[in-house]
């Protein structure tokens, strides 16, 4: 279910100039009713990435239903996520929730010896009853060490959006990363990427002579990358504020860059690492030429369907400013409004600088007011969450589910065409349905 924090006393729109790069854009803040999934949704892609981890949501039946429906397409014999249901007795304080949790975890780990890391994922109900999951994780870690590590983070839906679940998960892992002892610099790519994309980037960095390279999160929890003062990190996702801060706290240095979506974004992202490794411009051009060429050829196929079309992006995944840059600069779409739940000014500075002059960015949401603006603008395509997509489709507006963009492999040169195609499909479907 979408997390719907209570409406504020009134929507406040405060147009102001951004304090960082992107002075040419128009930034407004909005507060009010939101329509977003909670951070539990992150489990859907995190459990696929960290293959020896289990995500145990400590929550209600509502949380269990969310996981079931969000991840329902991927139910298999031995799932690596589940929900320890908090019953009415727990909510009323009649049961010892810690003892119950210990019992559930013991049973789970006895049945599943393949699990090496157990995440206790907090939810709205566990926070309401003030269940101290940090204490539980510490206690269970001692019980099950060294075979299993137990880590806690919150996926609660209050005042958050669904991609913050990944940020909270990775930030919780940062203290467990071993200390790097090497004096040579190393590169850490931060943010969940599909394995196929990770392999492509590994080859690309090797061709550039950049390394050693690690990815965080890793595919196995037993292979956590080391971090230290010589670690340089690139963010692969724009929603990792707390993780980046935690890595900086361990001495690592962020390499500011646009995000690797589309040919242009991927090239600029790689260039940030190449500059840190002092790769010459000529060598950089040689090592990336084939990738750029493949991406541009793929994009050319989809540009005619998208160029000149008007797109409205609702705030949902925090990928919106990055997608807006890709859609406007590489596919010729016109941006009506670019919503984002939160705007991390520093991490997105390079993206904001690339947006067309006059781009309207809305941080936060007052969903009814935004829907009114959306309808009035008669967009060709709306990028939004599942809760808004069906009603807008019923009104005859083509929509793209933003959560799909987080599940799909969309990063890098070789996925640029696939990313463009994700926006072409709803337009084609509408065309087939209406004949227009
Ligand atoms: Fe709903 Fe909160 Fe559970 Fe998310 S964590 S499913 S918002 S009750």
Q: Is any atom of ligand 1 closer than 6 Å to the C-beta of 157?
A: yes
- Domain boundary (156, 176, 202) is at 156
Here the tokens at position 326 are 């890709």
Beta carbon of 304 within 6 Å of any ligand 1 atom: no
- Could you tell me which residues come within 8 angstroms of residue 145 by beta carbon, excluding any fewer than 6 positions away? none
Do 146 and 197 fall within a single domain? no
pTM: 0.92
Q: How does pLDDT run along the chain (436 residues), one tens digit per residue?
A: 333 333 333 333 333 334 444 478 899 999 888 777 889 989 989 998 999 999 999 999 999 888 877 766 555 556 788 888 887 666 666 567 888 899 999 999 999 999 999 999 999 989 888 889 999 999 999 999 999 999 999 998 777 788 999 999 999 999 999 999 888 999 999 999 999 999 999 999 999 999 999 999 999 999 999 999 999 999 999 999 999 999 999 999 999 999 999 999 999 999 999 999 999 999 999 999 999 999 999 999 999 999 999 999 999 999 999 999 999 999 999 999 999 999 999 999 999 999 999 999 999 999 999 999 999 999 999 999 888 999 999 999 999 998 889 889 999 999 999 999 999 999 999 888 887 6
Nearest protein CA to atom 2 of ligand 1, as residue: 124
CB-based contacts of 17-20 (< 8 A; 24+ apart in sequence)? 18/345, 18/352, 19/345, 20/345, 20/346, 20/349, 20/352
Instruction: Give phi and psi for 148, each to the nearest 5.
Output: -130, 135
425 and 338 in one domain? yes
Whether 60 is in the pocket of ligand 1, judged by its Cβ within 6 Å, is yes
* CA dihedral sign of residues 390, 391, 392, 395: positive
**CA separation for the pair 46, 153 (Å, rounded):** 13
22 in Cβ contact with 86 (< 8 Å): no
Shared-domain flag, residues 327 and 264: no
Q: Is residue 220 part of a domain?
A: yes
- Do 130 and 255 have their domain in common? no
Atom number, ligand 1, closest to the C-alpha of residue 59: 3
User: Whose C-alpha lies nearest to ligand 1, atom 6?
Assistant: 63
Ligand 1 centre distance from Cα of residue 63 (Å): 5
CA of 90 to the centre of ligand 1 (A): 17
Q: Are residues 355 and 312 in the same domain?
A: yes
* CA of 386 relative to ligand 1 center, distance in Å: 16
Q: Which of the listed residues 106, 140, 156 is the one where a domain comes to its end?
A: 156
Domain-terminating residue out of 156, 175, 201? 156
- Whichever domain contains 128, its CATH number is 3.40.50.1980
In a domain, 163, yes or no: no
Does the beta carbon of 63 sit less than 6 angstroms from any atom of ligand 1? yes
In angstroms, what is the span from residue 124 Cα to ligand 1's centroid? 5
Q: Looking at the domain assignment, is residue 5 inside a domain? A: no
Estimate the crossing angle of helix 133-144 against helix 97-111, to 10 degrees: 40
Centre of ligand 1 to C-alpha 138, Å, is 24
Known binding-site residue numbers for [4Fe-4S] cluster? 38, 63, 124
Do 346 and 274 lie in one domain? The reply is no
In a domain, 263, yes or no: yes
CA of residue 89 to ligand 1 center, whole Å:
19
66 CA: nearest ligand 1 atom = 6
| Helix, strand, or coil (residue 41) | helix
Q: Is 1 in the pocket of ligand 1 (CB under 6 A)?
A: yes
66 touches ligand 1 (CB under 6 Å): yes
Domain that holds residue 223: 186-285
């Amino acid at each position: 279910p979408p997390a719907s924090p209570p409406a504020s006393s009134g929507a406040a729109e405060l147009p102001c100039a951004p304090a960082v790069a992107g002075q040419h854009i128009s930034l407004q803040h909005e507060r009010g009713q939101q329509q977003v999934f909670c951070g539990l949704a992150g489990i859907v892609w995190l459990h696929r990435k960290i293959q020896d981890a289990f995500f145990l949501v400590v929550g209600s039946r509502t949380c269990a239903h969310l996981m079931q429906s969000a991840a329902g397409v991927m139910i298999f014999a031995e799932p690596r996520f589940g929900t320890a249901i908090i019953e009415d007795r727990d909510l009323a304080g009649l049961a010892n929730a810690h003892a119950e949790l210990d019992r559930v975890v013991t049973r789970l780990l006895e049945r599943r010896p393949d699990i090496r890391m157990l995440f206790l994922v907090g939810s709205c109900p566990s926070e309401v009853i003030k269940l101290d999951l940090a204490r539980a994780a510490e206690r269970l870690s001692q019980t099950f060490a060294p075979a299993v590590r137990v880590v806690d983070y919150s996926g609660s839906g209050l005042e958050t959006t669904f991609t913050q679940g990944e940020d909270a998960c990775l930030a919780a892992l940062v203290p467990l990363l071993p200390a790097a002892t090497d004096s040579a610099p190393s590169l850490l790519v931060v943010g969940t990427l599909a394995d196929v994309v990770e392999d492509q980037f590994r080859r690309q960095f090797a061709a550039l002579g950049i390394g050693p390279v690690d990815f965080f999160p890793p595919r196995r929890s037993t292979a956590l990358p080391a971090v230290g003062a010589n670690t340089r990190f690139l963010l692969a996702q724009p929603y990792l504020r707390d993780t980046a801060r935690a890595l900086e706290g361990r001495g690592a240095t962020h390499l500011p860059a646009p995000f690797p979506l589309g040919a242009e974004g991927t090239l600029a992202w790689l260039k940030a690492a190449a500059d840190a490794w002092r790769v010459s411009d000529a060598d950089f051009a040689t090592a990336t030429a084939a990738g750029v060429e493949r991406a541009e050829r793929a994009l050319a196929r989809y540009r005619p369907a998208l160029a000149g079309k008007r797109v409205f992006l609702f705030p949902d995944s925090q990928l919106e400013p990055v997608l807006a840059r890709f859609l406007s600069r590489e596919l010729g779409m016109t941006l009506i409004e670019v919503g984002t739940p939160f705007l991390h000014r520093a991490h997105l500075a390079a993206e904001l600088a690339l947006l067309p002059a006059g781009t309207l960015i809305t941080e936060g949401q007052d969903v009814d007011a935004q829907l009114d603006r959306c309808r009035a603008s008669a967009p060709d395509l709306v990028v939004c969450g599942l809760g808004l997509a069906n009603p807008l489709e019923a009104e005859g507006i083509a929509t793209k589910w933003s959560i799909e963009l987080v599940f799909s492999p969309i990063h890098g040169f070789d996925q640029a065409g696939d990313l463009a195609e994700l926006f072409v499909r709803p337009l084609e479907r509408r065309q087939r349905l209406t004949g227009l």
